[in-house]
């Protein structure tokens, strides 16, 4: 077996795991015949070539195929050989997007260093210039509208909040190299269970997304295209993740660089603050919610107003106009990291938006496939039950623990003070309905063990 063939085999093995593999796992898969030092040299060679990147540090380090690829083994046996094909996962790309991709994938030494070009911003005139042409905006509106009558701002996002919290926290974090799986993210958000083997910073990143999304969705008044809202989003998203804690929720006061890019953002704090104000003023003037969302995705990261966490802030900021217009939110679910990174590099180094537009449109269509159908199938929430959820739990638990039969009189005797007098009769009926549907499996919602419930049910079977 030639050295190149050995490297190809190792690369294909790593590419089969989207979350990457640690060196111990790789060694185990390859068997005992390969010395660890030899494996380390081969991994180092793949990293040096840019074909593999290291995510995490120390024991948590994982080797991940650069540009998110999937390896497929083809059943084409010619003699004793098996053909391995490595196919990159990417979004459908326009010819302009392909040209941008080809440029930014050149070695860094072949790309000319560039600074912030204010002309790129000045060339845009809200409601006259359009990054998204009218036909494309019409297409996005048709995809993003819920098939329901008009409801208050933020209703769509609130209706799917539980799903959105998990999907967007996971997808947006993954675009930053976070190795949490979607299932790990669900357990963390719903049960507070941090995933084993994951660093504290990865866990913090997920939880920060949850808080920032809740900030926008639970109170639509927060969802405003204003400097204060953007700074607040940054404060949520960067909490506990900044080397300088005072940089959380504050415009940067020092120069920054972007890893892997030849782009150098504005360094002077006074000029940065002035440009941030201009970007936000221009964004606020844009009428169409999709054009407004895309403008924020382009110009916030390009300006780099914060020391870090700029792209995360821009992704949540892009949802502000969608929330305000009651459109399907943009979760970035299934967006390949490579496509997003290439697209942002195109903005940074070429001031070209076509590849990012390809990513935006594909990502929004993917989100709509997830959420418009979900919302159509949702059972409308029982607002009365939500309002008195704790009171309902208290009454059900008290009746069972005190071994009482379920009657209207028993419920009325334990009517909590939090239930308004005008709601008392409705509340009593709600409790009786709850008992009618109660069984050992769902009694655990009230902290009642199955054996306790079974014993109570046996004595009060007519309840």
Where along the chain do its domains lie?
3-88, 95-376, 383-459
Residues of the chain predicted below pLDDT 70: 1-4, 32-33, 48-50, 55-60, 66-87, 146-159, 372-382, 462-463
Question: What pLDDT score was predicted for residue 7?
Answer: 77
Question: What pLDDT score was predicted for residue 101?
Answer: 94
Question: What pLDDT score was predicted for residue 87?
Answer: 58
Question: What pLDDT score was predicted for residue 48?
Answer: 63
User: For residue 130, what are the contacts with CB-CB under 8 A and spacing of at least 6?
Assistant: 137, 291
For the segment 277-307, what is each residue's pLDDT rounded down to a tens digit? 999 999 999 999 999 999 999 999 999 999 9
CATH of 3-88, one of 1.20.1340.10, 1.10.10.10, 3.40.50.1970, 3.55.10.10: 1.10.10.10
Question: What pLDDT score was predicted for residue 149?
Answer: 45
Question: What pLDDT score was predicted for residue 54?
Answer: 74
Question: What pLDDT score was predicted for residue 295?
Answer: 98
Q: Which tokens sit at 274?
A: 């002035």
Q: Which tokens sit at 423?
A: 């709601």
CATH assignment, 95-376 = 1.10.3290.10
Question: What pLDDT score was predicted for residue 172?
Answer: 94
For the segment 14-28, what is each residue's pLDDT rounded down to a tens digit? 877 777 788 888 888
User: For residue 343, what are the contacts with CB-CB under 8 A and spacing of at least 6?
Assistant: 97, 100, 355, 356, 358, 359
Closest CA to 154 of 315, 296, 289, 325: 325
On whether the CB atoms of residues 147 and 374 are closer than 8 A, the answer is no
């Amino acid at each position: 077996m030639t050295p190149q063939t050995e490297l190809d085999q190792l690369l294909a093995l790593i590419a089969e795991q989207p979350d990457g593999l640690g060196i111990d796992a790789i060694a185990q898969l390859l068997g005992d015949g390969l010395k660890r030092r030899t494996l380390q040299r081969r991994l180092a060679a793949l990293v040096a070539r840019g074909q593999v990147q290291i995510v995490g540090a120390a024991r948590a380090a994982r080797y991940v195929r650069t540009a998110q690829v999937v390896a497929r083994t083809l059943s084409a046996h010619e003699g004793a050989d098996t053909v391995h094909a490595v196919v990159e996962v990417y979004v459908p790309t326009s010819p302009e997007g392909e040209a941008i991709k080809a440029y930014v994938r050149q070695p860094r030494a072949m790309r000319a260093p560039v600074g912030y070009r204010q002309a790129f911003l000045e060339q845009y005139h809200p409601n006259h210039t359009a990054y998204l042409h009218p036909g494309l905006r019409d297409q996005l509106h048709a995809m993003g509208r819920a098939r329901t009558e008009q409801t208050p701002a933020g209703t769509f996002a609130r209706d799917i909040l539980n799903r959105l919290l998990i999907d967007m926290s996971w997808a947006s974090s993954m675009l930053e190299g976070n190795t949490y799986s979607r299932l790990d993210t669900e357990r963390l958000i719903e049960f507070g269970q941090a995933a084993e083997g994951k660093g504290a910073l990865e866990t913090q990143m997920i939880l920060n997304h949850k808080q920032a999304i809740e900030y926008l969705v639970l109170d639509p008044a927060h969802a405003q295209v204003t400097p204060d809202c953007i700074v607040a989003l940054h404060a949520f998203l960067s909490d506990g993740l900044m080397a300088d804690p005072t940089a959380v929720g504050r415009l940067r006061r020092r120069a920054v660089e972007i890893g892997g890019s030849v782009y150098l953002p504005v360094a002077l704090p006074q000029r940065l603050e002035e440009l941030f104000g201009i970007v936000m003023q221009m964004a606020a003037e844009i009428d169409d919610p999709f054009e407004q969302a895309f403008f924020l995705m382009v110009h916030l990261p390009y300006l780099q107003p914060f020391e870090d966490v700029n792209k995360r802030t821009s992704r949540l900021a892009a949802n502000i106009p969608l929330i305000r217009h009651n459109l399907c939110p943009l979760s970035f679910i299934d967006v390949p990291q490579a496509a997003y990174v290439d697209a942002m590099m195109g903005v940074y180094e070429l001031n070209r938006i076509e590849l990012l537009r390809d990513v935006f449109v594909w990502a929004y269509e993917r989100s709509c496939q997830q959420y418009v159908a979900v919302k159509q199938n949702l059972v409308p929430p029982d607002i009365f039950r939500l309002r008195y959820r704790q009171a309902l739990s208290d009454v059900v638990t008290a009746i069972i623990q005190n071994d009482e039969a379920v009657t209207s009189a028993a419920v009325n005797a334990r009517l909590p003070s939090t239930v308004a007098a005008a709601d008392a009769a409705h509340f009593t009926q709600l409790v009786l309905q709850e008992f009618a549907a109660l069984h050992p499996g769902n009694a655990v919602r009230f902290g009642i063990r199955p054996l306790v419930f079974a014993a109570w049910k046996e004595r009060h079977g007519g309840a």
